């Protein structure tokens, strides 16, 4: 699961606003440049982002393994035909390029999540979006980053408990319903505990957040984001 990992890489040392700018610009460029040549160029940028985060494409693919089947299914469904010819390769080209585009955006996002603490992400969002809306958005992002690994861990424990009780002998629909029901119960219990913890800690709209500031090392990242945005007009 994608989570923050402490380190001292180039991406770790960048201001979170710089990394957010690169992400937004990369996503915009990805949906503007749809040709194979454009995707190759974006692939080089995505590889550079992973390199700056000291992450390999293999580890990123491992973290995104649940999304890959969905990305691979799109071209297959688009190219499938009910009659002869049963499979149209030309119809699969466009959705395949779209899947590659989304995968590259995932790679850049993985580099961001791996190198950015949750508190810094929240601070960046609250600085970029003023007012209470920015605070609420920052809190929402922070809770999502912290909640998803816990939900995934709960689901894995439920599956392990079912397997220990010979749950694998049940029908597939029964196993899915049991895991989903138990996962929902644990998620709601965690949400109740979170609400109680926020009240106990006097949740406020003006929390003390870590100080973040731009530095010289952010210049290449900002230049990259600007170049990606300029490429939209070209």
135 or 157, which is more confident: 157
For all residues of the chain together, what is the average pLDDT? Answer: 82
pLDDT surpasses 80 at 134: no
Contact at 8 Å (CB) between 12 and 105?
Answer: no
At residue 203, the pLDDT reads 66
Residue 1 has pLDDT above 60, yes or no: no
Distance CA 150, CA 21 (A): 28
pLDDT, residue 75, reads 82
Check residue 223 and give its pLDDT: 92
pLDDT at 150: 76
pLDDT at 25: 92
Whole-angstrom Cα distance, residue 22 to residue 171?
46
Asked if residue 89 has pLDDT above 80, the reply is no
Averaged over 42-69, what is the pLDDT? 86
Mean pLDDT of 74-88: 78
pLDDT at 201 over 70: no
Using an 8 Å Cβ cutoff, are 48 and 56 in contact? no
6 pLDDT exceeds 70? yes
Mean of the pLDDT values across residues 73-101?
80
Query: How much is the pLDDT for 199?
Result: 72
Pick the most confident of 8-12, 87-91, 144-148. Answer: 8-12
- The residues, ordered by sequence, that sit 6+ positions from 4 with a Cβ below 8 Å of its Cβ are 113, 114, 115, 116, 117, 118, 145
Q: How confident is the model at residue 22 (pLDDT cuts 50, 70, 90)?
A: very high
Give the pTM: 0.71
The Cα-based distances of 103 to 16, 26, 32, 72 in angstroms read 22, 12, 15, 10
Q: Where are the alpha helices (DSSP H) in 201-234?
A: 219-233
Average pLDDT rounded to a whole number, residues 40-55: 91
> Tell me, what's the pLDDT at 206?
62
Q: How confident is the model over 60-73, as pLDDT tens digits?
A: 888 777 778 888 88
């Amino acid at each position: 699961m994608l989570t923050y990992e402490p380190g001292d890489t180039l991406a770790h040392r960048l201001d979170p606003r710089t990394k957010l700018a690169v992400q937004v610009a990369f996503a915009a460029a990805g949906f503007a440049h749809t040709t194979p040549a454009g995707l190759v160029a974006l692939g080089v940028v995505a590889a550079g982002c992973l390199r700056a985060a000291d992450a390999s494409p293999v580890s990123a693919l491992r973290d995104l393994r649940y999304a890959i089947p969905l990305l691979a299914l799109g071209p297959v469904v688009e190219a499938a035909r009910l009659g002869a010819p049963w499979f149209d390769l030309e119809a699969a080209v466009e959705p395949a390029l779209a899947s590659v585009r989304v995968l590259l955006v995932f790679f850049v996002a993985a580099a961001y999540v791996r190198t950015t603490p949750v508190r810094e992400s929240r601070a960046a969002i609250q600085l970029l979006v003023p007012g209470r809306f920015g605070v609420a958005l920052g809190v929402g992002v922070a809770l999502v980053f912290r909640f998803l690994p816990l939900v995934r861990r709960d689901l894995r424990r439920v599956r392990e408990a079912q397997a220990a009780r010979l749950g694998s002998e049940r029908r597939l629909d029964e196993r899915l319903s049991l895991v989903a029901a138990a996962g929902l119960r644990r998620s709601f219990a965690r949400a109740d505990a979170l609400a109680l913890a926020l009240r106990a800690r006097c949740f406020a709209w003006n929390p003390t957040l870590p100080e973040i500031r731009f530095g010289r090392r952010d210049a290449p990242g900002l230049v990259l984001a600007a170049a990606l945005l300029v490429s939209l007009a070209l």
